[in-house]
Structure 1
């Protein structure tokens, strides 16, 4: 079976890909599900409708371990497309998004506080220091996410190769 894969750039923290296959989506989904439930599969997985989540085995897993999520989509009568996404575990992603939200909210709040201090003629040293620190914290979060992605890259490749192995069977 020939696999045609399309990927987005490496810039993204959550890389996406798309694979076109010449196989009915229901048959493909059944084949993948059967293999994932077999004893030969060492990966943890969950299937919900046509969405499949594959995780690294517990003993090899760490904080930055990626998760592979893909969906089997009907393209035509006897063709299908796998639309996949690599990302951190949902707990890690939620934590990062929460911290980003807190930093953004603080930035807006401190911006208003800075304006009030300015209008009252008060000292602006503290609010401006915070306004400078918050974007630096945001950049730090971005680089931590990039480091995490780099740390999980080997496992991401492992999950990708595993997926290719399953669909080539």
Structure 2
């Protein structure tokens, strides 16, 4: 079977990849589902149409454990592409996005607050201090995400190797 894999940059917190295969998409999906339901599979998984989600086993899972999500896309009758995405568990991703949203909203709110204080000729120390602190908090969040990605890197490789094992079965 011909396999060609491409990956995006390591700078992303949620790395993506695609694998081109010379196999019918429906047959590939059936083969993957069969393997995931077998006793040989120790990973938790769920399938929704042509989307497959694979998680680390509960005993090995931690806060930063990644989840592999991939979609099988038919290119033509005899070839398909697996488009994969590694990311944190949905709960962790939602928490991070919520905190980013709060920081962005506070930044906009304090920008307006600083403008109003400036127009009224009042002291700007507090709003300016917050406007300096919020981007620093955003950078801290980015580095926490990077640390989390690095912490889960071995498990990402493990999930990727597992996918390659399924493909080659």
Give TM class, smaller chain.
over 0.9
TM-score by length of structure 2 reads 0.99
For residue 53 of structure 1, give the secondary structure of its aligned residue in structure 2. strand
Q: CA deviation at 1:3?
A: 1.6
CA deviation map 1:85-129 (0-9, x unaligned): 000000000000000000000000000000011111110000000
Once residues 81 and 120 of structure 2 are traced to their aligned partners in structure 1, the CA distance between those partners, rounded to angstroms, is: 60
| Structure 1 segments of 4+ aligned residues over 3 angstroms from their partners | none
Once residues 3 and 58 of structure 1 are traced to their aligned partners in structure 2, the CA distance between those partners, rounded to angstroms, is: 31
Alignment match, 1:89: 89
1:36 and 2:36 matched: yes
Once residues 81 and 118 of structure 2 are traced to their aligned partners in structure 1, the CA distance between those partners, rounded to angstroms, is: 57
Once residues 127 and 147 of structure 2 are traced to their aligned partners in structure 1, the CA distance between those partners, rounded to angstroms, is: 30
Once residues 138 and 71 of structure 1 are traced to their aligned partners in structure 2, the CA distance between those partners, rounded to angstroms, is: 31
Gaps of 5+ in 1: none
Q: CA deviation at 1:2?
A: 3.0
| Aligned 1:16-165 pairs, distance under 5 A | 16-165=16-165
CA deviation map 1:2-53 (0-9, x unaligned): 3210000100000000000011001000000000001110000000000000
For residue 87 of structure 1, give the secondary structure of its aligned residue in structure 2. strand
How many residue pairs end up in the alignment? 169
Please, what is the CA RMSD of the aligned residues? 0.5
